[in-house]
Amino acid sequence: VLFALVIVTSVSSCKKAKDTIGVIIVKDSNGLTVADAYVVLHQDSLISPQGNQANHSELTKKDYTDDNGRAEFTYTLEAILNVDVVKTDGNNVYTGSNIIRLLKEKTVTKVVEIN
């Protein structure tokens, strides 16, 4: 019985942690989703005492939205990130921004409107 209890306890403690996922949905001013918009998740740059700018490159992720206006990003830890979106259509450039707070082992969705 003790052996079975040890086995059950060790198996249940080896569960793989769920991913921490940020989903960005890009919409235009009419509320329609926007495909092929360039989405960047990042933290603000830090300025060192020497005046050099440093960026947390391991936290910066980039992707384009799919046909449903959706881009998905996977992280291992919680984070608060800036979301910047750019969509170029001919000579027109549409931009939008927001902030997303990623929660450990959760999927968080944020809508960004571009205009």
Band (pLDDT 50/70/90 cuts) for residue 13 is low
Is the pLDDT confidence value at 1 over 80? no
Band (pLDDT 50/70/90 cuts) for residue 19 is very high
CB neighbourhood size of 73 (10 A): 21
pLDDT of residue 47: 45
> What mean pLDDT value characterizes the chain?
86
Contacts of 5 (CB under 8 A, 6+ apart): none
Backbone angles phi, psi at 22, to 5 degrees: -115, 125
pLDDT, tens only, 77-93: 999 999 999 999 999 99
pTM: 0.79
pLDDT, tens only, 39-78: 999 997 544 445 555 555 689 999 999 999 999 999 999 9
Q: Give the closest residue to 56 by CA, choosing from 36, 72, 70, 77.
A: 77
